[in-house]
């Protein structure tokens, strides 16, 4: 596991999640002076219990640290975002004992979309989310806030070469299925009960050619309405919860 660069995490859910799941990397918490929100008091207590410095500041200081993100009266200076490497991804797959569920995002560059994808992935109990280093939004304060804390408790693996990573996971017995609107087969015809990676493209461009070539197959989400595509975070949620449905035997 490696470290990223320092940044500010803003918002009640994002700061609470950082304290609950990765307090070792929180360096200080800034709370709005005079605020009466009981959740802010809970965050302050949690920070002090963890030995983290807490400062009462005015709204202008919070707004400057939050950088335009809605702060809700609290921000935290986060020393490093946790990231996972490809070797750890392979260990996670092996530990899943034939039930690994991966979400692979090929170039999701809007931090709100990435955060929403992480939130759905955490809710679906995925093994890990895989993103490329050079064609993805960083896991920053906006992503953490949008993910409602999922970014702090879900393995997010940043890889240099997505095609190489797809080859590696397929060698471990993971079936990689890409979602593409022009595909002939339906998502609902796939067997998603074993080791599976669901691969989605980014905004606008969709799956890149090389990514498509390293998938075992392509499928589409049937849309009887008059729309050509779904937002990537919505598509991720649909695909992930089809996998959940199959794995849990729900109707």
Whether pTM > 0.95 for this model: the answer is no
Is 84-248 a CATH 3.40.1280.10 domain? yes
The 3-class secondary structure across the chain, one letter per residue, is CEECCCEEEECHHHHHHHHHHHHHHEEEEEEECCCCCHHHHHHHHHHHHCCCEEEEECHHHHHHHHCCCCCCCEEEEECCCEEECHHHHHHHHHHCCCCCEEEEEECCCCHHHHHHHHHHHHHHCCCEEEEECCCCCCCCHHHHHHCCCHHHHCCEEEECCHHHHHHHHHHCCCEEEEECCCCCCEHHHCCCCCCEEEEEEECCCECCHHHHHCCCEEEECCCCCCCCCCCHHHHHHHHHHHHHHHHHCCC
Q: What is the mean pLDDT of the chain?
A: 90
Q: Is 210 annotated as a binding residue?
A: no
Q: Is the distance from CB of 117 to CB of 105 less than 8 angstroms?
A: yes
pLDDT tens readout for residues 82-141? 678 888 999 999 999 999 999 999 999 999 999 999 999 999 999 999 999 888 888 876
Query: Which tokens go with 134?
Result: 């050079």
pLDDT at 2 over 70: no
Domain with CATH 3.30.1330.30 in the chain: 2-78
The residue assigned the tokens 């946790």 is: 82
Q: What is the separation of C-alpha 236 from the centre of its chain, rounded to a whole number of angstroms?
A: 11
Q: Is 73 annotated as a binding residue?
A: no
Q: Is 221 annotated as a binding residue?
A: yes
Query: Which tokens go with 106?
Result: 């090929």
pLDDT tens readout for residues 144-200? 778 887 887 899 999 999 999 999 999 999 999 999 988 999 999 999 999 999 999
CATH architecture of 2-78: 2-Layer Sandwich (3.30)
Assign 1 a pLDDT band (cuts: 50, 70, 90). very low
pLDDT of residue 135: 82
Domain with CATH 3.40.1280.10 in the chain: 84-248
């Amino acid at each position: 596991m490696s470290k990223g660069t320092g940044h500010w995490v803003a918002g009640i859910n994002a700061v609470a999640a950082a304290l609950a799941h990765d307090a070792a990397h929180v360096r200080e918490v800034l709370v709005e002076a005079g605020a009466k929100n009981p959740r802010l008091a809970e965050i302050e207590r949690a920070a002090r219990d963890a030995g983290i410095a807490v400062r009462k500041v005015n709204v202008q200081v919070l707004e400057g640290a939050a950088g335009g993100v809605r702060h809700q009266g609290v921000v935290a200076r986060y020393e490093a975002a946790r990231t996972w490497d490809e070797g750890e991804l392979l260990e996670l797959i092996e530990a899943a004992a034939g039930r690994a569920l991966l979400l692979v995002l090929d170039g999701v560059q809007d931090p709100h979309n990435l955060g929403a994808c992480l939130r759905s992935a955490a809710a679906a109990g995925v093994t890990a989310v895989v993103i490329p280093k050079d064609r993805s939004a960083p896991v920053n304060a906006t992503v953490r806030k949008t993910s409602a804390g999922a970014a702090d408790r879900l393995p997010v693996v940043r890889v240099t070469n997505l095609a190489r990573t797809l080859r590696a996971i397929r060698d471990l017995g993971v079936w990689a299925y890409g979602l593409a609107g022009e595909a002939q087969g339906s998502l609902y015809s796939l067997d998603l009960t074993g080791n599976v990676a669901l691969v989605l493209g980014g905004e606008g461009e969709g799956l890149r050619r090389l990514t498509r070539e390293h998938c075992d197959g392509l499928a589409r989400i049937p849309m009887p309405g008059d729309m050509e595509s779904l937002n990537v975070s919505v598509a991720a949620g649909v695909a992930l919860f089809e996998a959940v449905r199959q794995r849990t035997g729900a109707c």
